[in-house]
Amino acid sequence: MTDLMNLIQERRSIRKYEDRPLSDQILQQLLDAVRWSPSWTNCQCWEVIVVKDAAAKEKLQASLPPKGNPASNAMVQAPVVLVMCAKAKVSGYYKNMASTKFGDWMMYDLGLATQNLCLTAHNLGLGTVVVGLFDHDKAAQAMQVPDGYELVTMIPVGYPAKVGSAPPRKETVAFTHYDKW
């Protein structure tokens, strides 16, 4: 198996973190992983807010539902939360018009950047968890995200204190089609 395949298979969502800061050099590598991600017409619609301040992390945590998000503790335990935002209506757009039936492709671009980030973090011995279930408007207000931009996901990053087992995956035959559906 290639190193890349190992990284892909062994990356897990991490929801428990050590009390240990991240160096600026490591943070820079994570941001570089975002930087080199592909995007629609290379529009690079992503904006990343690096949150280290404890009070700010608590505000973000408060945007999660009171129960039912297993990443809640991770929001304050991890030394850094990377808040993934995007400029709206540029990805998938040409002359202010959506080019395809899917409209805004910012979620797609952010998804690619996020996986680059999470795999790079894993390669550096760090853990991440993508957090998508929360009140996006509340979190955006706490982060003072300007109009025309959306706060999409939040990613706690840090040294893993506990790595869970891999949730099962469908076999490839369950989703692969040849020559037609």
Binding site for ligand FMN (CB under 6 A): 12-13, 69-71, 129-133, 166-167
Question: What are φ and ψ of residue 108, in 5° steps?
Answer: -65, -50
> Cβ-closest residue to ligand FMN?
132
Distance of closest approach, residue 3 Cβ to ligand FMN, in angstroms: 18
Structure tokens at 109: 């671009």
Which CB atom, from 146 or from 164, has the smaller least distance to ligand FMN? 164
Q: Which is nearer to ligand FMN, 22 or 154 (CB)?
A: 154
Least CB distance to ligand FMN at residue 175 (A): 15
Please give the Cα distance from 54 to 139 (Å, whole number): 15
- The distance of Cα 2 from the centroid of its chain, to the nearest Å, equals 24
Residue with Cβ nearer ligand FMN (38 or 70): 70
H-type alpha helices, 11-150: 24-35, 54-61, 74-77, 106-123, 136-142
